[in-house]
Amino acid sequence: MRKIFIVLLVFVWLQQSIILHSQTIRPVKDNVGFCWDAAEMDSFLKFLSGSTPGNDFSARNLIGGISVHDDYLYAGKVYFPLYRLIRTKEVLIFGVTHGSVRKEMGPLSNVLILDEFDKWRGAYNDAGISPLREIIKSKLPPGSFIVSNKAHSIEHSIEALIPFLQSYNREIKITPVMVTQMPFGKMDSLSTKLATVIAAYMRERNLVPGKDIFFLISNDANHYGEDFNNSPYGLDAAAHETGTKNDLRIAGRYIDGPIDKNDLLELTKEIWPDSTSKKQIPIWCGRYPVVFGLLTIMKTVQLLDLGDITGKLFRYSDTYTEKVLPVKNTSMGLTAPFSLKHWVGWFTAGLYIHR
């Protein structure tokens, strides 16, 4: 009997080992700009908590947000006001499809990009995947998405958010969705389909937005300077002031207030490239996920008969203004320089339900 028991224990151990080692875990892409150590992340949050102004934003009716994804030592104080309010069990993240992905994989447009990793690396543990991801795959029409672990492995705009999300909920689960370039009409129709899937998922499980599920859009604002071939105002302090004021004007006009479809269409004229126009536009790397994500969130809330959404700008800054946070004894570093000839703007904003 004892031998049989031992054999059974060994069998169970082998089965668990096989399951464990058969899991595919999305590796870290950027191990310089972000923090992947739990103790260091805790120390960084303690620093931010004691040095970040504007911590009086409300979590009441907060169901989503727009987040920076730049280096923590630049943008930590801009991340913090949003993430300190997020306590949900899962989060759907709309990520960027950066040029690095397109360079390696070729042109990508008119689709969403999903993954099939079992987990994603985090600072505290490996982040699990929400059941929503596989439901999206089964419900969205063929041709509206592709599944590519390679694309998600190259892209950093989603992984940047995970350590901050885990800081307040170690067991949070994610649904990573990369958004590619597509015209507004395509975004409108595809966001309706995706919102229908999300709303049905939430109804079936009695999920409350803001309590059980949260929506995040990853974005960095204007990329200004010689390295980006984007310096319409010049390369001095006055140009920096003009560029950041323009970022703030756009965010204030289209994101800080009621969110509606007509305004989102107008937003595309401000931040989307147009080959027929000679107008110089700010380079927001999240220009497609911002519009697609806001359309999807707005429609999901409406399908659930919860009202509408309104945005609240939490904090805006940029690499040249912030420079490097005075954090000691850190393994974090910088992935790009800052100067009047090379700066990146970013902001966080909250998305609230209102009736």
Please give the torsion angle defined by the CA atoms of residues 308, 314, 315 and 316, in that order, rounded to the nearest 10 degrees.
10
182: in domain = yes
What backbone torsions phi and psi does residue 150 show, to the nearest 5 degrees? -60, -45
In a domain, 4, yes or no: no
Q: How confident is the model at residue 6 (pLDDT cuts 50, 70, 90)?
A: very low
The DSSP letter of residue 105 is H
**What distances in angstroms separate CA 269 from CA 66, 189, 310, one per listed residue?**
19, 19, 20
Q: pLDDT digit string (tens) for 169-194? A: 999 999 999 999 999 999 999 999 99
214 or 17, which is more confident: 214
Interval 282-338: pLDDT, tens:
999 999 999 999 999 999 999 999 999 999 999 999 999 999 999 999 999 999 999
Model pTM?
0.93
H-assigned helices in the chain: 2-22, 38-51, 72-83, 99-105, 132-139, 149-154, 162-168, 184-205, 237-254, 261-271, 287-303, 319-322
> What's the angle, vertex CA 263, arms to CA 261 and CA 267, rounded to 5?
115
Residue 222 has pLDDT above 70, yes or no: yes
Q: For residue 275, what pLDDT is reported? A: 60
Length of the chain: 355
Per-residue pLDDT at 15 exceeds 80: no
Chain segment 96-126, per-residue pLDDT in tens: 999 999 999 999 999 999 999 999 999 999 9
- Domain of 44 in residue numbering reads as 24-354
DSSP state letter for 161? G
Predicted pLDDT at 276: 66
What's the number of domains the chain is made of? Answer: 1
Residue 8 lies in a domain: no
The answer to the question of residue 69 being in a domain is: yes
Residue 217 belongs to domain with CATH number: 3.40.830.10
How many whole angstroms separate alpha carbon 201 and alpha carbon 203? 6
Task: Indicate if the pLDDT at residue 11 is higher than 50.
Answer: no
With respect to residue 19, please indicate whether it lies within any of the assigned structural domains.
no
- Does residue 1 lie in a domain region? no
Residue 348 host element (H or E):
strand 342-354
Percent of the chain having pLDDT more than 70?
A: 92
pLDDT of residue 278: 67
**Per-residue pLDDT tens digits for 20-29:** 345 899 999 9
Q: Using an 8 Å Cβ cutoff, are 220 and 316 in contact?
A: no
Residue 7: what are its φ and ψ, rounded to 5°?
A: -60, -40
pLDDT on residue 17: 39
Question: Quick one: average pLDDT of 35-57?
Answer: 91
